[in-house]
Structure 1
Amino acid sequence: MKKYKGYLLDLDGTMYAGTQVTEGAKEFIDYLYEERLPYLFVTNNASKTPDEVAEKLTGMGFPCTADNVVTSAMATAMFIAEEQPGADVHCIGGKGIRQALTDAGLNIVDGEQADYVVIGLDADINYDKYATAALAIRNGAKFISTNPDRTLPSERGLLPGNGALTSVLTVATDIEPIFIGKPEVHIMNKAVEMIGLPKEDLVMIGDLYMTDIMSGINSGIDTLHVQTGVSTYDAVMAEEVPPSYSVRNLNDVIDIYKEEVK
């Protein structure tokens, strides 16, 4: 297995499952930290700020700061700011997406006239929020969704994810959104920019084929599937484009790297 110069990592199912650290995850991040190999946690979660994501990870024992985190909210803000600097954005979502938009110099507006409508996961979603966003889209606002995740893992089970919320606006307006998060290239472009390395020197690590592995494949980045989450080894290897590698857990990667040094 190639030893890469930089590592892009999924969170849920790869680093942890709920409140439990995934087998091999902490050891692998400690290894990268000790080897001074740069890494970024790439998450579709747009509701939390990078500081909040980093706080959760450090609380679980991972060496992490906000500089180690790229969210779909950050990628969404970058996409809009590059396309139309200073744009007016009607936003459905939490603190993470709102802070990202503001930090990018975009104006958050509350009304039926906007340049863009952005939807991220919003636990307080209601009919009025949907109605205003739908009218803004029908009035010409470009429709953007932070990520297509249909479900959200929780201690209670699988809850409706942002993709499910987004579908309401799609049905109400007959407009398909531009998705930013994994498996789309937009969030990966942001991650590549942040880590500052060529794509050929990077690997995307995750458990779920349709988001994590496909995000690497779509972006021309090597992929490493970990068998600690949703997608099984047999399932991913049966795909038309399988991952570059698959391991039981991230301890296997450490063992491979150390064996190659001998």
Structure 2
Amino acid sequence: MHYKAYCFDLDGTIYRGKAGIDSAIQFVHQLQAQGIEPFYLTNNSSKTRETIQQMLHDMGITAPLEHIYSSSLATAKYVAKMSKDKRVNVVGEQGIRTALLQEGLIITEEQADILVMGIDRQMTYEKLAKASVYVQNGAVLVGTNGDIKFPNEDSFVPGNGSFVHLIANVAGVTPIFVGKPSPLMLQIMADDHGFDKCQMVMVGDNYDTDILCGINFGCDTIHVNTGVTPTAIVKQQAQLPTYCVENLLELIK
């Protein structure tokens, strides 16, 4: 197994909540010892690149800033291209807000043509109600990602997709999702660093996001049984990952 670009999901692959997954951290260290610097692609829109870099550092992983990609970055680039007046409504935390501002967009509390939703762990009924009104009044509903749930240290908690679908159901619309399983983040990373698809592999725990992202992009995939989708369920799918492992240490030979 020889790739130049190992693209790791984070939640459920490198860590669960704030706890690192030892086997994954050891595998990353093994790659770095071989001169291979991994990439990190997360659907979590709440954190900036700098925050993710610090989280990884606290778990014992040194990651270059330019090797970290989030659904916030991809969503901001997507919305900047589709927005006519550069004004957007936003539900979400610092990660998506920072990314939108860096793309020259203006965050407004007045009705806009686009409503962007990222994970918001301070979600309130008032925020959901206001977002529902904006979308019913014509705002295009764009979600950073469609994850229904993600793992913490003990079990699973609601993901951004749960809230986006709630708004979509109230407003009677179909949302646009930018994060995995869309191949957009992988494409941006490949373009930024000059990789061909045959040189890349997507590593993740969630079949519906991570693995399908790699399949949709056209690169190899590794499913690891440390997060959302159990291996037994993965093996029932029509499109299978290139590899399935219990943990990433199985890949070290």
- TM-score, with structure 2 as normaliser: 0.92
**Alignment correspondent of 1:60:** 59
Q: Secondary structure at the match of 2:222?
A: strand
Q: Secondary structure at the match of 1:24?
A: helix
Q: Secondary structure at the match of 1:67?
A: helix
CA distance in 2, matches of 1:98, 1:36: 34
Change (3 A) 1:39 1:194: farther
- Whether the 8 Å contact between 1:86 and 1:105 is mirrored in structure 2 is no
Deviation digits for residues 55-82 of structure 1, max 9, x if unmatched? 1110000111322211111110011123
**Alignment correspondent of 1:259:** none
**What is the root-mean-square deviation in Å for CA atoms of aligned residues?**
1.9
**Alignment correspondent of 1:197:** 195
Q: Report matched runs for 1:186-225 at 5 Å.
A: 186-225=184-223
Residue 44 of structure 1 and its aligned partner are, at CA, apart by 0.8
Residue 30 of structure 1 and its aligned partner are, at CA, apart by 1.5
Residue 156 of structure 1 and its aligned partner are, at CA, apart by 5.8
Change (3 A) 1:74 1:86: farther
- Whether the 8 Å contact between 2:206 and 2:229 is mirrored in structure 1 is yes
State percent identity of aligned pairs: 37
Q: Report matched runs for 1:62-211 at 5 Å.
A: 62-84=61-83, 87-112=86-111, 114-155=112-153, 157-211=155-209
Deviation digits for residues 72-111 of structure 1, max 9, x if unmatched? 1111001112334762111000000000000111111111
CA distance in 1, matches of 2:195, 2:85: 29
Q: Could you tell me which runs of 5 or more consecutive residues in structure 2 were left unpaired when the two chains were aligned.
A: none
CA distance in 1, matches of 2:49, 2:241: 28
One-letter identity of the residue aligned with 1:129: K
Deviation digits for residues 155-212 of structure 1, max 9, x if unmatched? 4632222111112211221011101111122333333333431122100001221111
Change (3 A) 1:195 1:85: farther
- Whether the 8 Å contact between 1:44 and 1:181 is mirrored in structure 2 is yes
Deviation digits for residues 125-171 of structure 1, max 9, x if unmatched? 22332233223223322210111111232346322221111122112
- Whether the 8 Å contact between 1:13 and 1:207 is mirrored in structure 2 is yes
Counting matched residue pairs gives: 253
Q: Could you tell me which runs of 5 or more consecutive residues in structure 1 were left unpaired when the two chains were aligned.
A: 256-262
Q: Does 1:237 align with 2:231?
A: no
Greater mean deviation of Cα atoms: 185-194 or 204-213:
185-194
Deviation digits for residues 25-64 of structure 1, max 9, x if unmatched? 1222122223332421111100111111111110000111
One-letter identity of the residue aligned with 1:234: A
